[in-house]
Chains A and B, each alone.
Chain A
Amino acid sequence: MASSVPFHHLACCFSVSQQEKECFQQQLWRTTRARYSSSRIRATQQAVKASSVEVPAFPLFQPSQLEEAASEQLEPADPDFYKIGYVRSMRAYGIEFKEGPDGFGVYASKDVQPLRRPRMIMEIPLELMLTVSKKHPWMFFPDIIPVGHPIFDIINSTNPETDWDLRLACLLLYSFDCKDNFWQLYGDFLPSKEECTNLLLATEDDLLELQDEDLASAMRKQQSRAFEFWEKNWHSGVPLKIKRLAREPERFFWALGIAQSRCINIQMRVGALVQDANMLVPYADMLNHSPEPNCFFHWRFKDRMLEVMINAGQEIRKGEEMTVNYMPQQKNNMFMERYGFSSPVNPWDEIQFSGNARIHLDSFLSIFNISGLADEYYHNDELSGSEGSFVDGAVLAAARTLPTWSDGDLPPVPSSERRAFKELQEECRQMLAKYPTTSEQDQKMLDSMSEPRRTLEAAIKYRLHRKLFIKKVIQALDMYQDRLLF
């Protein structure tokens, strides 16, 4: 008992400071929620990250205005969802799978204290996955493709450099046809064709709604590529065991979309063999994306399991969503192309400015309390008081994308600086004006549509997010102007 007294005191100290922090965060959270309801503050020990993009996995696209409703609408997933994996020695620790109106998500079911070492929340045995090696000899773990099956010839005919998604889609389709394969059960929990937001399934109208010609043409190329592949390998003369895998092109498109959006590339080691593989990992693919993730994947060699682990030192509150980073440092159009979602607060988004106006980088960063190197900007909330709520991923993106100058300790010249951000703002406004619709109109369209097609919804959201991002940059420049002290 004698030793426990000081400890108790210590604990009190801790809890007090925790409470303070929590209060602060609550406040922060509320204000943030008021303005950008999709941003969420994480209680990390060091710095509360500027914001995390609440972007769900590709079927799971949570509209910002619906988020509050969505969090209420979250309900536990079908009990069989975990059961089918549990009996096959997949394990989940301290998390639960929940299903919202837009899809699945993984949420913490209890608080996790920050730990020195990463803490495992899921382990998935290799036997449940579908994997293809990235390079030529094609190896499948588990090896479900029998020798001499024509699906192997199809897989073998793909371009080894580029067509990893086609291979994975073939494998996925084949696994659905495989007797007693786990994916026959798991497939029921994947998003169906109607729920997919992947633009492979988009119509031409949807692509026009993107208001982004580059992305639309890229998607058209993708669609034609997929369709050619389907036509080549699923023509009328193929044997039945191939034909029944994808009788109509939509099914193949769907499989391709699933493969693109749920593929995990990880270096795995099986026995003495180390190989890079494209894998479809059940359960792990239900984790949603965040540019500041709290989880990561880890391959456990000794019993061939994929572990999902919480970052070391990350504190998790009950009900918080577990996220991973799908693609680091990618713009919205890349996410849109591959996963079918976008975010207004993607910290890696870009705007191409044509003029030569430049603002002073260090001033901009210090005004918004952004710390870190260019690759790892973060919002330093200890410096900013209560007004840190303005800064989110979009401002970080602005700090990256705005043309800036920095020359040692040289301070900015007021006149040139004012001129510069005026010009930049003007350019942003011109960009906004070029779009046929404004963000308010987009928002109205979204609200007015009842039961829209997912792809159409995603396309409208994409352009909406683009406009929101530009608006945010304008706002940031305004604020910069206000706060800049010469």
Chain B
Amino acid sequence: FLPGIQVDPARLSYPFSTSSWVLGTASFLVSTKLKLKPWKNLPKIPKHCRWEFRSLPIRVARHLSKKPALAATMVSLPTTWLYQDRGLRITISPHRVRKPGLPSLFPSGVCAIRSRKQPRLLHRIRCENEDEDEGIEHVYVERPPYHSYFDSTSGQLEPASGARASIPGEDCWPEGTSDRVRAARAPAPAGAISAGSSSNGQNPGSRRRKHRASATGPRSSDAIIEVKDLGNVAAEETIVEEETAEEPRDESSEYVIYQMEPEVEEETGFALDKKLGRPHPFIDPKVKKPIEGTLPEEELWWNWKKPEEEQWSRWQRRKPDVETVFLKAMAENGEVKLYGETPSLTETALYRARKHLYKEERLRLEQEKLERIGPMAYYSEWVKAWQRDTSREAVEKHFQETGQDETMQLMEMFSYQTDREYRIMMGTDIRIKRDPLAMRLKEDQIKQIWGGDPVYPTINYKQDPNEIIDYRGPDFHEPTPNMVAYLKEHGKLISRHELEQTLAKEKTEQVELTDMDDAMARAVDIGENDEEEETSDVEEEDEDSKLPRNWSVLKTAPELRKSKPKAKKEGAMNLDEAIDDSENLTDFLMDFEEE
């Protein structure tokens, strides 16, 4: 009897059916009799199961007859006795088993296994069917370290795998759960596949009993049929899909079918590259379609059209930058002259470049001066109390006399420096105005640059001194007007021949001048008559020269010169006018706030 009973712990652990308990008991006893180490993780057998051991054989037989597949896993015939528990394998070598087999180990009553279908006493139980077994692959997954545990919540041994806690009764289910369970348990409609097919609403009542007989035969052959048939096919397909999706549950689905080998999909080209993260085009080249109606680059360059410059929102205005505002302020202050009311892009760029260059130049000069006269002489400017000679020779001489090098001498000199001198030298004397214009900026200009709050600037909060402003506007691509013709026409640009002529004339004139007005040439112009001369000159000049620049758009397009009179009325506008005046609602509101 039971030369090898192999108890699957997973089977045993849940559900706690009586028969599986008994089987567990059997294996326990068997292992004890065989002086083997009893199965370590066998759960404690409840008392009420003990007495059932007497009826073990029949129950086992019933159990096995009911579930042959289970029997195949639970009972195995070969004399080598294996059972798996966390990789522990206990093997009984065949020579330990006596010749007639194991039955002699047991009292005969226990050993008899009867099944109802085969009432004869089986000498040898063959519970495993190799033929059936072929389809089933026994996979031993690693067992959990324990298979039941004492649940403090329920106060009972609970299976460690599967459903951990027992599902509470239906009374305790949350609202709606029983409905869903009932709906899920409702048997799927079982029945033959219907003969008819949907008419898609064209022919109501077509699948009733009266028509059912005719539905199997060929359908009516009208002219509309084509459309109808298409619809029929579609409907049939959908129904078939739904049927396959909602198939009644398979009763024999006790086995989990593992997918051992992942399906390998062969991917090539773009998909593979994308999957592996190799460089690949952004769009799948197979899918990619060229955008139609575009020009090649060369054509595009010449056919570029300037977009309309309509400013329809205040947000389209240029970002207020420091340079523009400063330049405008300088122009108002009279330091520079601007062509227009607001500095143009070019002017701003020029201003910025000049500012940078001047600064560089100043610094360079200072550095040169420092190097030229030496640090003692350079810094003695800020030490009034240092009256000694600071020339290089004197410094060197002092070094030879006392052994103090230049640094020591500098330190000594600075010890005579007053606080005030120090502050002036470091540029931290607040009484000295460093940049009067910046201090004199009007409030609206300050607001333009930094917003209302100097501490937490609302605009230009990234005050990057090295920020390079992108002045390219929408007309960046606009071809520059051909200036050569213009300059030639106005005599600003002359040919070599003309230049020579002019030069020749100038030479002769110069000779005359030097001869005639030597005294005048040597005289110092004290500037008495400057203004008068200039004004007279200006008056004499034609309108073109009033323009402050030598060449400008206004010269080529004189119609621009007469600027439109500002439409803005003085005084208060009424509401309608104000709305008409501003281009859109945002502008109106912002203007409204201003005024």
Query: Which A residues fall within an 8 A CB radius of B?
Result: 75-76, 78-84, 86-87, 89, 91-93, 99, 101, 103, 123, 175-177, 181, 183-185, 187-195, 254, 302-303
* A87-B246 in contact (CB<8A): yes
Residue numbers in A under 8 Å from B276 (CB-CB):
none
* B175-A79 in contact (CB<8A): no
The answer for the CA separation of A175 and B182 in the assembled complex, in Å, is: 30
The reply on B239 being an interface residue by CB < 8 A is yes
Interchain residue pairs with CB less than 8 A apart (7): A83-B242, A176-B202, A187-B199, A187-B204, A189-B207, A195-B205, A303-B179
Report the minimum CB–CB distance from B343 to chain A (whole Å). 54
Residue numbers in B under 8 Å from A81 (CB-CB):
207
* A80-B204 in contact (CB<8A): no
The reply on B40 being an interface residue by CB < 8 A is no
Residue numbers in B under 8 Å from A86 (CB-CB):
186, 188-189, 246
* B201-A79 in contact (CB<8A): no
Residue numbers in B under 8 Å from A91 (CB-CB):
182-183, 186
Chain A residue with Cβ nearest B246: A87
* B209-A75 in contact (CB<8A): yes
With contacts A92-B186, A184-B235, A188-B196 known, what are 11 further pairs, Cβ within 8 A? A75-B209, A76-B191, A79-B189, A81-B207, A84-B242, A86-B188, A123-B183, A176-B202, A185-B235, A190-B204, A194-B210
Chain B residue with Cβ nearest A191: B205
The answer for the CA separation of A175 and B201 in the assembled complex, in Å, is: 8
Residue numbers in B under 8 Å from A175 (CB-CB):
201
The answer for the CA separation of A303 and B199 in the assembled complex, in Å, is: 30
The reply on B480 being an interface residue by CB < 8 A is no
The reply on B221 being an interface residue by CB < 8 A is no
In the complex, the number of residue pairs spanning A and B with C-beta atoms less than 8 Å apart equals 101
* B189-A83 in contact (CB<8A): yes
For window 199-219 of B, CB contacts with A under 8 Å fall at: 199-212
Pick from A80, A103, A191: contact of B196, CB under 8 Å: A80
Assuming the contacts A91-B183, A123-B183, A302-B175, asked whether A80 and B207 have C-beta atoms less than 8 A apart, the reply is yes
* A87-B245 in contact (CB<8A): yes
A interface, by DSSP: helix, strand, loop or mixed? mixed
Report the minimum CB–CB distance from B23 to chain A (whole Å). 27
Report the minimum CB–CB distance from B565 to chain A (whole Å). 50
* A303-B207 in contact (CB<8A): no
Encode contact with A along B321-345: 1 for CB under 8 Å, 0 otherwise. Answer: 0000000000000000000000000
Residue numbers in B under 8 Å from A188 (CB-CB):
196, 198-199, 203-208
The answer for the CA separation of A76 and B199 in the assembled complex, in Å, is: 21
Assuming the contacts A87-B245, A93-B182, A185-B235, asked whether A99 and B208 have C-beta atoms less than 8 A apart, the reply is yes
Chain A residue with Cβ nearest B209: A99
Report the minimum CB–CB distance from A62 to chain B (whole Å). 14
Encode contact with A along B174-197: 1 for CB under 8 Å, 0 otherwise. Answer: 011001001100101111111010
Q: How big is chain B's contact interface, by range?
A: 35 or more
Residue numbers in A under 8 Å from B179 (CB-CB):
123, 303
The answer for the CA separation of A177 and B200 in the assembled complex, in Å, is: 8
* A254-B207 in contact (CB<8A): no
* B201-A177 in contact (CB<8A): yes
The reply on B368 being an interface residue by CB < 8 A is no
Residue numbers in A under 8 Å from B176 (CB-CB):
302-303
Chain A residue with Cβ nearest B194: A80
* B211-A181 in contact (CB<8A): no
* B209-A101 in contact (CB<8A): yes
Query: Which B residues fall within an 8 A CB radius of A?
Result: 175-176, 179, 182-183, 186, 188-194, 196, 198-212, 235, 239, 242-243, 245-246
* B189-A254 in contact (CB<8A): no
Report the minimum CB–CB distance from A56 to chain B (whole Å). 14
The answer for the CA separation of A91 and B200 in the assembled complex, in Å, is: 23
Interface centre among A80, A99, A175, A188 (most CB of B within 10 A): A188
Chain A residue with Cβ nearest B192: A79
Residue numbers in B under 8 Å from A181 (CB-CB):
201
Assuming the contacts A80-B207, A92-B186, asked whether A87 and B199 have C-beta atoms less than 8 A apart, the reply is no
* A192-B201 in contact (CB<8A): no
Pairs of residues from A and B, 10 with the lowest C-beta to C-beta distance, nearest first: A192-B205, A79-B191, A176-B201, A188-B207, A80-B194, A184-B201, A187-B204, A87-B242, A82-B189, A83-B189
The answer for the CA separation of A84 and B191 in the assembled complex, in Å, is: 13
Pick from B190, B201, B206, B207: contact of A183, CB under 8 Å: B201
Residue numbers in A under 8 Å from B200 (CB-CB):
176, 184
Report the minimum CB–CB distance from A94 to chain B (whole Å). 10
The answer for the CA separation of A86 and B243 in the assembled complex, in Å, is: 10
The answer for the CA separation of A123 and B186 in the assembled complex, in Å, is: 11
Report the minimum CB–CB distance from A283 to chain B (whole Å). 12
Assuming the contacts A80-B196, A302-B175, asked whether A193 and B246 have C-beta atoms less than 8 A apart, the reply is no
* A78-B246 in contact (CB<8A): no
Pick from A78, A101, A187, A254: contact of B212, CB under 8 Å: A78
Chain A residue with Cβ nearest B208: A189
Residue numbers in A under 8 Å from B189 (CB-CB):
79, 82-83, 86
Pick from B183, B190, B191, B201: contact of A187, CB under 8 Å: B201
Residue numbers in A under 8 Å from B242 (CB-CB):
83-84, 87
Interface centre among A80, A84, A175 (most CB of B within 10 A): A80
Report the minimum CB–CB distance from A380 to chain B (whole Å). 38
Pick from A76, A184, A303: contact of B198, CB under 8 Å: A184
Residue numbers in B under 8 Å from A76 (CB-CB):
191
The answer for the CA separation of A162 and B569 in the assembled complex, in Å, is: 64
Residue numbers in A under 8 Å from B235 (CB-CB):
184-185
Residue numbers in B under 8 Å from A83 (CB-CB):
189, 191, 194, 239, 242-243
* B198-A89 in contact (CB<8A): no
The answer for the CA separation of A101 and B190 in the assembled complex, in Å, is: 23
Interface centre among B183, B198, B206, B209 (most CB of A within 10 A): B209
The answer for the CA separation of A191 and B206 in the assembled complex, in Å, is: 8
Chain A residue with Cβ nearest B210: A195
Report the minimum CB–CB distance from B196 to chain A (whole Å). 7
Residue numbers in A under 8 Å from B212 (CB-CB):
78
The answer for the CA separation of A75 and B208 in the assembled complex, in Å, is: 12
The answer for the CA separation of A190 and B205 in the assembled complex, in Å, is: 5
The answer for the CA separation of A435 and B98 in the assembled complex, in Å, is: 104
The answer for the CA separation of A176 and B176 in the assembled complex, in Å, is: 33
Report the minimum CB–CB distance from B185 to chain A (whole Å). 9
The answer for the CA separation of A409 and B182 in the assembled complex, in Å, is: 56
The answer for the CA separation of A93 and B176 in the assembled complex, in Å, is: 17
Report the minimum CB–CB distance from B145 to chain A (whole Å). 42
Interface centre among A84, A191, A193 (most CB of B within 10 A): A84
The answer for the CA separation of A183 and B210 in the assembled complex, in Å, is: 20
The answer for the CA separation of A443 and B107 in the assembled complex, in Å, is: 85
* A189-B205 in contact (CB<8A): yes
Residue numbers in A under 8 Å from B208 (CB-CB):
99, 103, 188-189, 191-192, 195
The answer for the CA separation of A181 and B186 in the assembled complex, in Å, is: 24
Chain A residue with Cβ nearest B241: A87
Residue numbers in B under 8 Å from A303 (CB-CB):
176, 179
Residue numbers in B under 8 Å from A187 (CB-CB):
199, 201, 204-205
Report the minimum CB–CB distance from B175 to chain A (whole Å). 7
Residue numbers in B under 8 Å from A194 (CB-CB):
205, 210
Report the minimum CB–CB distance from A312 to chain B (whole Å). 18
Report the minimum CB–CB distance from B10 to chain A (whole Å). 34
Report the minimum CB–CB distance from B231 to chain A (whole Å). 8
The answer for the CA separation of A93 and B211 in the assembled complex, in Å, is: 28
* A80-B186 in contact (CB<8A): no
Chain B residue with Cβ nearest A102: B209
The answer for the CA separation of A75 and B212 in the assembled complex, in Å, is: 12
Residue numbers in B under 8 Å from A92 (CB-CB):
186
Report the minimum CB–CB distance from A261 to chain B (whole Å). 13
Pick from A78, A82, A87, A101: contact of B207, CB under 8 Å: A78
Residue numbers in A under 8 Å from B182 (CB-CB):
91, 93
Chain A residue with Cβ nearest B193: A79
Residue numbers in A under 8 Å from B188 (CB-CB):
86
The answer for the CA separation of A80 and B205 in the assembled complex, in Å, is: 13
Assuming the contacts A83-B239, A185-B198, asked whether A254 and B204 have C-beta atoms less than 8 A apart, the reply is yes
The answer for the CA separation of A305 and B209 in the assembled complex, in Å, is: 29
Report the minimum CB–CB distance from A306 to chain B (whole Å). 13
